[in-house]
Amino acid sequence: EARPRTYLDSVLITPDLDGERFVLTPVIRDIQRGVAFRATLIADRREVSSVESTASGVPVQLAVPDARAWSPSDPYLYDLKLELVQNGQTVDLVHSYAGLRKFHIEGNRFFLNNKPIFLRFVLDQGFYPDGIWTAPSDEELRRDVERSIAVGFNGARLHQKVFEERFHYWADKLGYLTWGEFADWGVDFSKP
């Protein structure tokens, strides 16, 4: 993918439901004087807030007015426009999305968005008869999530495999929680 000399290498997006904001940490490659990072939050196709920064690796706070939380029953996702601007011109542009949610544990209970939730998870080993451990299509990744939801699961323990990013995309879009487990590469840690 072609990119300019100065470009957005990555942006870490951390939701803060209680603070009604996203905390964004941009990493800018070959940053030049006069280049600014701009993040714009889009809700229901309307720009609702924006923030700018001139630093790479420094978190910025993007307000979420009238915050709407992501949940399995309402998998609402905000659109994000992430850009580098120099002399009023956009020199790099990335479109992304994010869900505003909070997951935490109190005692022996799980909470999603400050409400108790029962995790009814399936153990998903990521096996596909037509592709072994690789899904044969994006459509099959989506159907995998839909089938699990249809039989009553609200998420999956993703077992010992690095799952495709598109699987997580469909989980986000369809309201499906995921719990990643460490992959087992056959290493015996008991030997010095």
Question: Ramachandran region of residue 91, left (φ > 0), alpha (ψ -120 to 50) or beta?
Answer: alpha
What does the alpha-carbon distance between residue 21 and residue 100 come to, in Å, rounded to a whole number?
Answer: 8
Identify the residue with better confidence: 1 or 40. 40
Res 22: pLDDT? 98
Give which of 60, 49, 52, 67 is closest to 12, Cα–Cα: 60
Query: What type of residue is 168?
Result: H
CB neighbourhood size of 153 (10 A): 18
pLDDT tens for each residue of 75-128: 999 999 999 999 999 999 999 999 999 999 999 999 999 999 999 999 999 888
What the block records as the tokens of 22 is: 């996203």
Only one residue has tokens 């799980």, namely 110
Model pTM score: 0.90
